[in-house]
Structure 1
Amino acid sequence: MSKKSALILSLVVAVLLIVSFCHFYQSAPPDNAGTDSEAMGVPAQPEQTATVSSKAEPPPVDVAAAPAATGFLPTEMEDPAKFAAYQQKLKEMAVCLNMQMNALDPNVEINFETFNQVINPDLGDVVTQSEEWVATDLRTKSGEMRRIYIENAPSIEMESSRTLKYYSFDAGGAQKEISLSKEQMANPSDTLVASLEADGEVVGRSISRKIFYSNGDDLLLVERNGKIFSFELAHDGAVFRCTGADKSATFQCQCK
C-alpha cells in the first residue's frame, strides 16, 4: 500500500471515530439522571414555607375556675414571674423571626394592645382583623362545667355564618358534646346563646382573632378573660408559637 493510500485510510478511520463519539455523547443520559426526581417519575417537592395555622385551639377548660375578675394590675406587679417569662420569650421570638421589637412596658397589663406595641416595628400597622371563634365556659348549679363554642366562617358569596357547639366536661376535663338540632347549630340567635349561658354562671370567655398587618404577615391570637393565652406569628421564613401565656407556669414557646 502506498503512503498516499495509507494516509487516506487513516483520515477515514479518524472521521468515523469522531462521528461515533458524537452520536454516543448526545444519546447518553445526563450525569444526574439517577438522582433527578422528575426523570424517575417522582414529582419535585415544592419548597416549604412557614405559615400560620388555619385555626387556633381553645384553651383547656378549667374545672376549678372561679368567675373571671375585672380590672388588672400591671403584669410585673401582679405576676413578676410571668413578666420575666414574657421578657425571655420575646427575646427568643426576635431571634427566631429575625425581627426588631420594642421594649416591654413593665407598667401595663399584657394584652393584645400592649403586645402589639412590642412586635409591630417590622410588621407595620394593623390593616384588619377577624374573630375566628368564641368559647364561653360556665358552671351549672350542679357544679358541671360546660362550654358554648361559636365558630365564625367567612363566606365570599354571602354573609359570614356561625356554627354553635355545646359541650360538657367531667371532673377530669374530658369533653362530651351536648346534642343540638341542626337549626340551633347553624347561625344561632343571640337569644339562644343567652339561654344557654343562663344554664349556669359564666366563669371564663376565650376569643380567637386573626390580625393582619400592612407588611403581609398575620398574627393568630387567643385571649382568655382579656389576657393573652396563645399566639402564633410567621415572619422571615420561620414560625414562632406560644401557648399557656396567661400563666408563668404554663408559658411555653417553640420556633419552627
Structure 2
Amino acid sequence: MSKKSALILSLVAAVLLIFTFCHFYGGSPDETADETLVVQETTGVPAESVAPPVKAEPPPVDVSAAPPSAGFLPTEMEDPGKFAAYQQKLKEMAVCLNMQMNTLDPNVEINFDTFNQVINPDLGDIVTQTEEWTATDIRTKGGELRRIYIENAPSIEAGSSRTLKYEAFSADGTAKALPLSKEQMSNPSDALVASLEADGEVVSRSISRRIYYQNGDDLLLVEKNGRIFSFELTHDGATFRCSGADKASSFQCQCRNNP
C-alpha cells in the first residue's frame, strides 16, 4: 500500500471515530430542544427556571413556652388585635394575588378550616394534602427544652421516608444535637418517637402541610398548637407569604411578584 493510500485511510478512520463519538455521547441539538420543550409544556415555565418546592421553616423555639391551652375563644374575644391584623392581611392578600375573599367571622376561632373558607372562592375544593414535617417541643423535669423534628420525604424505594432530629435548646435558643444512632434517625418508629416525647412535658406541637386545590394552586401551611403560624400561596403571578400569624405582635406578610 502506498503512503498516499495509507494517509487517506487514516483520515477516513479519524472522521468515522469523531462522528461516532458525537452521535452517541454529544446528543443532537434537536433532541436537547425537544427535551426542553417537554419541560416547558409540562410546567409552563422554561426548563432552567424550574425550582424545587419551597420548604417551610419551623417556628422558633419558645424557651418560655407553657403547655398549649385546651381550647380557644372566638378570635375577637381572645385577641382583638389578632382579629384586626387578620382582616388587614387578608385584604392585602386579596390585592396581591388578585383573589376574591370571603368575610372573616369574628365569632369563630381562626384555624385552617375557617381560614380556608375565607380564601377558597378562587381556589376551589381541596384535592389532596401532604404532611411535610412535624416539630414537637418538650420540657424535661430539669427544665431543658427539646425539639423532636421529623421530616417526611418521598422515596422511590419505600414510597416515603422519615428523618428524625432530636435537639436541646439553651436559654438563648442555641440548638445542640442529642445523640441518636443512624438507625434511629432514619425512618424512626412510632414507639421511638413516643419514648422521646416521654422525656418531658409537651409544650408545643407544630406541623407543616402542603394543601393542593382544584384550580392547581397549593398552599404551604404551618400550624402551631392548632393555630396558623405561617402560610404561603402563589396565585395569578404573585406570591403572598406570612409568618408569626399566631400573634398580632409578630404577624408579618410580604407580597412578591414572580418573574
Q: What's the secondary structure of 2:143's corresponding residue?
A: coil
Root-mean-square deviation (CA), in Å? 1.9
Question: Counterpart of 1:111?
Answer: 111
Q: TM-score, normalised by structure 2?
A: 0.78
Question: Measured at CA, do residues 116 and 48 of structure 1 come closer, stay the same or move farther in structure 2, by a change above 3 Å?
Answer: farther
Confirm or deny: 8 A CA contact 1:49 1:237 kept in the other structure. no
3-state SS in 1 of match to 2:148: strand
More helix by share: 2
Q: TM-score, normalised by structure 1?
A: 0.79
- Asked if the contact 1:221/1:230 (under 8 Å) is kept, the reply is yes
Unaligned 5+ runs, structure 1: 1-44
Amino acid paired to 2:129: Q
Write the letter of the residue equivalent to 1:218: D
Q: Which has the higher contact order (CA 8 A, sep 6+)?
A: 1
Q: What is the deviation of 1:155?
A: 2.7
Deviation of the 1:156 alpha carbon = 4.4
Determine whether 1:203 maps to 2:203: yes
Partner of 2:26: none
**Which whole-Å CA distance do the structure 2 matches of 1:133 and 1:222 have between them?**
9
Measure the CA separation in 1 of the matches of 2:50 and 2:87.
24
Equivalent residue runs for 1:163-242 within 5 Å: 163-242=163-242
- How many residues are treated as equivalent by the alignment? 212
* Aligned residue type for 1:178: L
Q: Identity of paired residues, percent?
A: 77
Find the counterpart in structure 1 of residue 127 from structure 2: 127
- Cα deviation, residue 158, structure 1: 2.5
Deviation, 1:178, is 1.4
Q: Which residue does the alignment assign to 2:152?
A: 152
Find the counterpart in structure 2 of residue 13 from structure 1. Answer: none
Corresponding residue number in structure 2 for 1:6: none
Displacement after TM superposition at 1:51 (Å): 8.2
Q: Which has the larger radius of gyration?
A: 1
Contact 1:52-1:233 at 8 Å conserved across structures:
no
The C-alpha deviation readout for 1:117-174, integer Å capped at 9, x for no partner, is: 0000000000000000000000011111000000111234433111100011000111
Any conservation in 2 of the 1:229–1:245 contact (CA below 8 Å)? Answer: yes
5+ residue gaps in structure 2?
1-44
Encode CA deviations 1:43-70: one digit per residue, 9 max, x unaligned. Answer: xx95998989521000000000111111
Tell me which amino acid in the other structure corresponds to 2:118: V
Matched residues in 1 for 2:139 and 2:218: separation? Answer: 34
Instruction: Return the alpha-carbon distance in structure 2 between the equivalents of residues 103 and 48 of structure 1.
Output: 40
Distance 1:78 1:48, change over 3 A: farther
Q: Report the Cα offset of residue 175 of structure 1.
A: 1.2
In the TM superposition, structure 1's runs of 4+ consecutive aligned residues that sit over 6 Å from their partners are 47-52
Q: Output the amino acid matched with 1:124.
A: G
